[in-house]
Structure 1
Amino acid sequence: MAKKDKPNFVTSNGRLLHLIDTQQFTHELLHAFFKIADKARQLYTSGIGASFLKHCLPNKRALLYFVQPSTRTFLSFESAASILGISTAQVTSTRTSSELKGETPFDSVHTFAMYHDLIIIRYPEPGFAEKCALQFLESDVSKHIINGGSGMDQHPTQALLDVYTLHREFLRRGGLDGKRIMFVGDLARGRAARSLIYLLCKYQDVKVDLVSPDSLKLKGDMKKYMTKHGINFRESDSMLAFSKEADAVYMTRIQDEYDKEFSAGKIDYSAYKLTDAVITSLKPNCIVMHPLPRREEIPVSFDADPRSRYWEQVENGMWARVALIAHILECDLKIKSA
Structure 2
Amino acid sequence: MNNNFSLRTRREGGGTPVLRNWGADCDYGVLRDILLGPVDHYRWLETSSVSKKSIRRNLAYDYDVAKAQHAEMVSAYESAGVVCHFHAPDQALPYQVFARDSSVMTPYGAIITNMANWWRRGENFRALETYERLGIPVYDYVTAGHFEGGDFNVIEPGSVLIGWEGNEGRSHEPAALQLQGWFEAEGWEVMLTDIDPFYVHIDLMVVMLAPKLAAVCLESTDPEVILWLKSKQIEMVAVPFQDTLELGCNVVALGNDRILLPQTSKVLKEKVRALGIKVYDPDVSMITPGGGGVHCMCQALRRDPG
Q: TM-score, normalised by structure 2?
A: 0.31
Question: Which structure shows the bigger proportion of residues in strand conformation?
Answer: 2
TM-score normalised by length of structure 1: 0.28
